Amino acid sequence: MKSSYLFLIIFLFSNAQGGSGSIFEVTNYGARGDGITDSTNAFLTTWKAACASSTPATMKIPDGDYLITNALFVGPCENPVMVEIIGTVVAPVDYNKIVNFSYWIKFKSINGLWIKGGTLDAKGKGYWDCKSKSSSGTCPSSGPTSLTFESVTNGKISKLTSKNSLQIHISIHKSKNTTLSDINISAPGDSPNTDGIHVEASSITSISSSTIGTGDDCISIGPGTFTTSIHNIACGPGHGISIGSLARRVNEDGVKDLKVSNSNFIGTTNGVRIKTWANPSNGYVNNILFKKLIMNNVRNPIIIDQKYCPNNINCPTQSSGIKISNVVYQNIKGTSATKAAMTFICSSSNVCTSILLQDINLSYIGTSAAKSNCENILGATSGTISPKSCF
């Protein structure tokens, strides 16, 4: 593992410095950057050649608009591969051409992968409009994720713009040692389920220096996710940075060792949130740090919700089995759009324990004072806490 990771670092450095490496340009394999011609097969053929290269390779997408439908880029590869996007990769305007798969673009089973630069435009408006207008079930129940890393080790995504995803923009799944930086993600605030970055069943993930505005969570952390660092994020519009939702299943892995720091939330529905369904589960949330965060007109700046049921339809009535412990909220400041600046709705059967508030200063934008609400929580405070803690 260590030797493979070192090899990737050497490869990335040599490419950044203009070093040697095999370059495979999609236009040499039939792709056309006119935004009309379907270049899916050309992209896949280019990938196959780059993946088989005897030296570290670059799959280059030059300036232009390249139309592709669902594309699965599979390893393992002979050497690390960089996908350098200079132009824009676009999906068909007709969402029916890509909704039969859970992904639009997926990279799978690769050790050493770097997606660098460029733009992905999934053209999601038609799908969102259908979802918002249809009550008869005529729209597809779910849309594809724009970019997926699955079973990728030593992966990197940098300087990428992703916009108008039908649903999730970027998904990191069953992957290890993944770095995401300088990402720009955008979708309208009312676009349904357009999460920015979703990480699940993955370890050692870093997300930094990115701007995310969507119609759902800016970043969401799913079960089985360990050792995650999130810092220097500008989030808004959207639903904040969330752990969960959890407790969808009885047998579910936990979330552990997460740090969110030095980030701003602007006009979001939530700031930092832990959300679990009120279902039996053997999952857990442990060793979490939320530090140096600024809230600007955020509806729920700090929230634990173990009765999560977003549409209030067929909500479970049991007690959540998720055990939440060792969560620290440190140096969080700003304004709340509601009086309840801090809300802790914990499970009656699994009380939240070892919750620590340190130096909190949240004020309500209205004329009255902010407040905090608690259910089934044990914790402590340190420093100045405003509003006053309810535990």
Residues belonging to the active site:
216, 239
CA distance 310 to 51: 43
CA distance 181 to 175: 16
Buried b (16+ CB within 10 A) or exposed e, 147-167: bbbbbbbbbbbbebbbbbbbb
- Contact, 203 vs 153, CB < 8 A? no
- Contact, 171 vs 196, CB < 8 A? no
Buried b (16+ CB within 10 A) or exposed e, 107-137: bbebbbbbbbbbbbbbbbebbbeebeeeeee
Residue 16 backbone zone (phi > 0: left; psi -120 to 50: alpha; other: beta): alpha
How many residues belong to the chain? 391
- Contact, 321 vs 280, CB < 8 A? yes
β-strand partners of 235:
212, 265
Rounded to the nearest angstrom, the gap between the alpha carbon of residue 172 and the centroid of all alpha carbons in its chain is 8
Place of tokens 């909190």: 360
- Dump strand ranges (E) for 9-54: 22-25, 34-38
